[in-house]
Structure 1
Amino acid sequence: MSDSIQPAVQIGPAQTARSLAQGRVVGTVQVAWAAGPFRVRHATDADGNPILLCRTGGGLSQALAPRDGDDVAVVLHVEGHAGRVWISGWSHPIHDHAARAAALEFAAANPVSDLLDVGRGFELHHLDVAEVRVERCGEIVDVDLDEYIATRCP
């Protein structure tokens, strides 16, 4: 019987991005036209679109409020031991029954107590992903969106 050394499993950029975006590490959000950045608790839906949790009426909530019914340009930045991810896209508020469903999806990835107060002091915003970049070992890589969406986290 011979002992062999197994090579380390290589985690691709899409997996790194999805793992970081999942929400276990607090991120920061830069909102277009806002003074930010803002610290934010977040999770992702099944397709990797971030769900942002913020206090109703707080600075982030006000920055994310759509002007003239438009979505708001946002960049979510998360830094963890595996690297950094920047996810940019368009944010829109989640209301009514959709907010309850989003809170349950958020809780599955990142169960935080403030989710119990969604609609009563806290609110959720959905980020439609337009671009994903990952930095690992000093190298920045653009992540293919189809690969990012197809990647699932355990």
Structure 2
Amino acid sequence: MNIPGLTVVTMSALFGLGVIMVIAGGVGFMSSNPVLMENRHRFAQGVVFTAAALMFVGGIGVHFTGSSNTAFLKGQMQRASQCELASEAAHPEARGGRSGVISRQILSCMQVAGYDWNERTARCQDAPVATNGYCYAPADWFDRAVTTTQLFFD
């Protein structure tokens, strides 16, 4: 069972723990490193902390955007399939027809789920139909940014 709220809490807790580890590790590294301690220059300490923080944030970013637990692009595709299944189950007589009932219901279902129709993406232009999960973009700015990043590497 995948609970989205629990995933957010878990990722936030791990992020907080990671920040504490980066700070503790940086202080420990500087205390045991005679070059930095003899120098005692604030710039050198700042470089160590900045490098550690960038590596940490980069690692969390890779995990966060690539993890199936956080959904985003995979969740978007799954949601489009769920909307298609629900629409076809609600209107079995409209399958294969040209009435557009199923397509309109899929669009409505995706909009309720928090996705906007976006046919400007390259993968949507190949097949701009309601069942194509690539033709949607999350309405929330953060989800949209992560999904756009995933699409860039997909």
Does TM, scored on the shorter chain, surpass 0.5? no
Q: What is the TM-score when the length of structure 2 is the normalising length?
A: 0.30
Kindly indicate which of the two structures has a greater share of residues assigned to helix: 2
Kindly indicate which of the two structures has a greater share of residues assigned to strand: 1
